[in-house]
Amino acid sequence: MTPASKPIRRIATEEAFSIPEVAAGLREVARAPGNSLDLVLVERIYDAKVDDVQARLLPRLLDLEKERLKDMDANGVAMHLLSLTAPGVQMFDADTATELATLANDKLAAVIKRHPTRFAGLATFAPQSPKRAAVEMERAMKKLKLNGFILNSHTHNEYLDNPKYFPILEAAEDLDGCIYIHPRAPSDGMAAPFRDYGLDSAQWGYGIEVSTHAVRMMVSGVFDRFPKLKICIGHMGEAVHFWLWRLDYMNKNAQNRGSAPKTKLTPSEYFKRNFVITTSGQESHLALDFSIKALGIDNVLWAIDYPYQPSAPAVAFMDSAPVSAAEREKLYHGNAERVFHIKLE
């Protein structure tokens, strides 16, 4: 086989899974009283009373070694970077969340050990208990050899700019582990307008939630305290980079009038230095082209968002992207290998 005909290595970087214990816990959450906007989706997946598309997702989330591998093989996908699906353990009490995070990480590491060329993994942790979370983060990377971390945006309606979560950020920076901030439904304070028209989740609410989280981190000074911290956000960057010029301009005004802290860099400088993005669930060549021009080819990674999005269109999207062969290699696997410490086969 000549080098020109060598198959490209496709590493998909936002690929969801679950375990029975977390699924059972979320079923109980769905049946308990509550007003969290996350319950709209949690009920449909974990306590479904009708057979719809979302109700059929749970078996695919729980399956790691049968249909998933067949789907990967059928679409030429070399590897899934696995992460515990939203809302992860963040709707449980701190003790339950800590126990389930440990169990999920152990099970994830075991699957990776059985299929080291097909799977890598992001460790989950319980932000409800930041110090215990930091301990689990260290165990996950040093002992289990996982590749970074997954966080489902807000916890108890709080974000990572809150100093109570700094032990988590310190651990991630020390371990050189990228935190993938995955969406969940908007926090309680912003939830009301998203309760209509199916706006609660992927159609609109998820992007608003994560983009708000990212902007709070940039304008709060978090990255002055943790300059080497790396954050990944999906869905073509949740459109944050479209707003960078305006963020810089308006944040300068906010700093001058004292309503925002003085920071060493501008939001756009933090975004280009401390963030990478994935293409998960956003298969637009126009958006990809803008992202590469705005952020640089090294800061964009390919993803499918399996099983929420189908694999074949995601592969076709990147195969047909108007980029050079060298750029396609970076998008498909080179950047993922660097950011998430994934070893070459």
- Three-state helix/strand/coil letters over the chain: CCHHHCCCCCEEEEEEECCHHHHHHHHHHHHCCCCCCCHHHHHHHHCCCCCCCCCCHHHHHHCCCCHHHHHHHHCCCCEEEEEECCCCCCCCCHHHHHHHHHHHHHHHHHHHHHCCCCEEECECCCCCCHHHHHHHHHHHHHCCCCCCEEECCCECCECCCCHHHHHHHHHHHHHCCCEEECCCCCCHHHCHHHCCCCCCCCCCHHHHHHHHHHHHHHHHCHHHHCCCCCEEECCHHHHHHHHHHHHHHHHHHHHHCCCCCCCCCCHHHHHHHHEEEECCCCCCHHHHHHHHHHHCHHHEECCCCCCCCCHHHHHHHHHCCCCCHHHHHHHHHHHHHHHCCCCCC
Whether residue 177 is contained in a domain is answered as: yes
Convert the pLDDT of each residue in 20-44 to its tens digit. 999 999 999 999 999 999 999 999 9
Averaged pLDDT, 206-218: 98
Convert the pLDDT of each residue in 128-162 to its tens digit. 999 999 999 999 999 999 999 999 999 999 999 99
Averaged pLDDT, 103-119: 98
Is the confidence at residue 5, as pLDDT, over 80? no
What's the chain's average pLDDT?
96
Local confidence band at 329 (pLDDT 50, 70, 90 cut-offs):
very high
Tell me the catalytic residues: 305
Domain that includes residue 307, residue range:
3-339
Whether residue 72 is contained in a domain is answered as: yes
Whether residue 97 is contained in a domain is answered as: yes
Local confidence band at 344 (pLDDT 50, 70, 90 cut-offs):
confident
Whether residue 323 is contained in a domain is answered as: yes
Whether residue 146 is contained in a domain is answered as: yes
Whether residue 141 is contained in a domain is answered as: yes
Convert the pLDDT of each residue in 260-318 to its tens digit. 999 999 999 999 999 999 999 999 999 999 999 999 999 999 999 999 999 999 999 99
Convert the pLDDT of each residue in 59-106 to its tens digit. 999 999 999 999 999 999 999 999 999 999 999 999 999 999 999 999
What confidence score (pLDDT) does residue 49 get? 74
pTM of the model: 0.96
Local confidence band at 3 (pLDDT 50, 70, 90 cut-offs):
very low
Whether residue 344 is contained in a domain is answered as: no
What confidence score (pLDDT) does residue 52 get? 65
Q: Which residue has the higher pLDDT, 68 or 53?
A: 68
User: The CATH number of the domain where 153 resides is what?
Assistant: 3.20.20.140
Local confidence band at 6 (pLDDT 50, 70, 90 cut-offs):
confident
What is the number of domains present in the chain?
1
Question: Smallest Cα–Cα separation from 136: which of 152, 153, 149, 154?
Answer: 149
Whether residue 33 is contained in a domain is answered as: yes
User: What does the alpha-carbon distance between residue 97 and residue 25 come to, in Å, rounded to a whole number?
Assistant: 10
Local confidence band at 50 (pLDDT 50, 70, 90 cut-offs):
low
